[in-house]
Chain A
Amino acid sequence: MIKEHHLNIFVLGLLIFVPIFAYWNDQPFTITLMTRAVIFAIAAVGLNLALGTGGFISFGHAAFFGLGGYVMGILAWHSQNYVTLIEWPILIEGTKSMPIIWIITIAASASLAAIIGMISLKTTGVYFIMITLAFAQMMYYFSTSWSAYGGEDGLSIYVRNNFPGLNTLDPIQFFSICCVILLTVLFFMGRLIKSPFGLALNASRQSRQRIEAVGFDFHKLQLTAFILSGAITGLAGALFADLNRFVSPSMFSWQLSGEFIVFIIIGGVGRLFGPVIGALIFVWLEHLIGGISDYWHIFLGFILLAIVMFGKGGIIGLLCREDVESE
């Protein structure tokens, strides 16, 4: 059996060499497809902290993904139309600068996650699943009825936002930005789950009583994890909106929340690279089967059903069975 460590290196190699190969062979579409997969991977890595390590199933992470998209959309819209965002009490203008947008996105999604988390984490199990779902729906309906920013039609951004020193309209350069962010997030996540906080979070999933008995604050642990998780998924949303140069209420849709969970399940729950592998496979399958049949969701449905019914631990669990047993 393959070591999980080796599989991770292989995936990293794919992430770097497939786009380079596509660039040499002049296949910008492949690069865009990879960018899409990388952005989905960032979103799912964020969710994996809550779902995999923390063990609370959020069925509403599209709320953060969509919020990220709208933060980017609104800032860029104000900038491209030369309309000030807020005039009072301080003058705030829109911006087209990616780093600034990212910082604001992270702050905004972390705040939203704090609010949703404070209410939802009072509950557990099925209640938590349904409440997070309901909050994402609330964001969805809010965005459709907020006509100032496009309502159901969404917002279009004419030119991709700027990053100092790079031409973001070039697929390979935009891919590099997203890929570096994914690697940074993965590095951060790898450190985090081995930190005292990560270990405590992991333990809190397995036994609430014990974690409280040794003096941790269970709710604080979960809420912190939820906020971090939401912030990362929000950042992915800003990148996704930038990739499409378009943001619409569909970024809040509950199907998207479901797909994020699917990425994690395909790859392997609670594994560092699980969401990355899942997102890569999902986007690849979507492209492959979507090209053959218009009804690719049927096939996705059956694949998913098979994974849930028969495959425990996703792809990583399948390939690295030794690790599963020793766990």
Chain B
Amino acid sequence: MSFVLIAEQILNGLQFGIMLFLMSAGLTLIFGVMGLINLAHGSLYMIGAFVAATVASATGSFILALAAALSAGALAGAIVEMTIIRKLYNRDHLDQVLATFALILIFSEGTRWVFGSFPLYLDAPLYLQGAIKLPGGIQYPLYRITLILFGLVIGVGLGLLITKTRLGVQIRAGENDREMVSALGVNISKLYTFVFALGAALAGLAGALVGAIQSVEVGMGEPVLILAFVVIVIGGIGSIKGALIGSILVGLTDTLGGIFLPKFFSLFMELATATNVGSSIASMSIYILMSIVLVWRPTGLFGQKV
């Protein structure tokens, strides 16, 4: 196994992890601030991808498509928050799970109704196609490198927003004591709508960015949603830093496990059995990772002690 192959796989894992981060950052923020478990986050991801694909095929501009996905996500998020989610903050988790499960059904079937069951395609813009040469003789797709860098920029931006700005102070304060914050004159329900829309916008953006690598279809959001859950459980619910580290861990484990576990088992097994066993275990590897983290730290790596 060559160095180039390993490096490529690490980059793939990193890229996957960064995209997961865009999803899980919103999810963990919404849970941390509002205490809401939002299953419909994957639907916002799907909406982003569909809007991007539609806008890109109508205008031909990828940047416009991304902007449209971002605003569609934010808009859908804000509408859903103001009509439904707002009433769920004081309910128990069971009600939240069910109401957002209902939202998934409505969004998924609604999208199928409008766009049909066939997948749409979204291409990366011409100037981002092709490969780039990295030090060490690694050829890597330019688009994926851009995704990694773009995702990191957003991650840093989000971190700065939370830690350095006035809005971030309010968000963090809202996490700790809702009533105190609103007593100090902050419009807490506007703040909640903003946080929800921010998370939704990130999910929509992630959907659009990934849409250029995969096909855009109904039901694309839920597998990512479940992975994002794994990420925030590993990282600790409510922690942006945890979401970033969890995403990269999950991305790397999933990608590298799929490649290296079959090879590892073939060291002491027949090739066919090793491929079978290896790929079966690889498909479960992130869940095994999660169980290990939880046995060790029941509230995740950066979660607060209950």
- A interface list, Cβ under 8 A from B: 51, 57, 59, 119, 122-127, 129-131, 133-135, 137-138, 141-142, 144-148, 254, 258, 261-262, 265, 269, 295-298, 300-302, 304-305, 307-309
Q: List 19 A-B contacts (CB under 8 A).
A: A57-B93, A119-B291, A127-B298, A130-B232, A131-B294, A134-B230, A134-B287, A134-B290, A138-B287, A145-B280, A145-B282, A146-B276, A261-B97, A295-B110, A295-B112, A305-B99, A308-B95, A308-B99, A309-B99
Residues of A close to B101: CB separation below 8 A: 258, 261-262, 304
Residue B237 lies at the interface, judged by CB distance under 8 Å to chain A: yes
Residue B123 lies at the interface, judged by CB distance under 8 Å to chain A: no
Within 8 A of A (CB), among B275-306: 276, 279-280, 282-284, 287-288, 290-291, 294-295, 298-300, 306
Residue B102 lies at the interface, judged by CB distance under 8 Å to chain A: yes
Contact indicator A126/B99 (Cβ below 8 Å): no
In terms of DSSP, what is the predominant structure of the interface of chain B?
helix
Residues of A close to B237: CB separation below 8 A: 126-127
| A272 to B190 CA separation, bound complex (whole angstroms) | 42
Residue B94 lies at the interface, judged by CB distance under 8 Å to chain A: yes
Contact indicator B299/A127 (Cβ below 8 Å): yes
Residue B109 lies at the interface, judged by CB distance under 8 Å to chain A: yes
Contact indicator A309/B97 (Cβ below 8 Å): no
Q: How near does chain A come to B291, taking the closest CB pair, in angstroms?
A: 5
| A64 to B211 CA separation, bound complex (whole angstroms) | 34
Contact flags (1/0) for B80-104 with A, using CB distance below 8 Å?
0000100100000111011101111
Contact indicator B294/A302 (Cβ below 8 Å): no
Most buried by B among A137, A265, A296, A302: A137
| A295 to B98 CA separation, bound complex (whole angstroms) | 19
Contact flags (1/0) for B218-236 with A, using CB distance below 8 Å?
0000100010011011000
Contact flags (1/0) for B254-271 with A, using CB distance below 8 Å?
000000000000000000
Known: A125-B93, A130-B229. A146 touches B280 (CB 8 A): yes
| A43 to B233 CA separation, bound complex (whole angstroms) | 27
Contact indicator B233/A134 (Cβ below 8 Å): yes
Residue B122 lies at the interface, judged by CB distance under 8 Å to chain A: no
Q: How near does chain A come to B220, taking the closest CB pair, in angstroms?
A: 14
**Closest A-B pairs by Cβ, 7 of them:** A301-B105, A301-B106, A138-B287, A141-B283, A304-B102, A298-B109, A305-B102
| A265 to B99 CA separation, bound complex (whole angstroms) | 11
Residues of A close to B110: CB separation below 8 A: 295, 298
Residues of A close to B140: CB separation below 8 A: none
Contact flags (1/0) for B101-123 with A, using CB distance below 8 Å?
11111101110110000000000
Most buried by A among B97, B222, B300: B97
| A146 to B283 CA separation, bound complex (whole angstroms) | 10
Residue B37 lies at the interface, judged by CB distance under 8 Å to chain A: yes
* Residue among A142, A265, A304 making CB contact with B105, cutoff 8 Å: A304
Residue B31 lies at the interface, judged by CB distance under 8 Å to chain A: yes
| A214 to B298 CA separation, bound complex (whole angstroms) | 26
Contact indicator A129/B97 (Cβ below 8 Å): yes
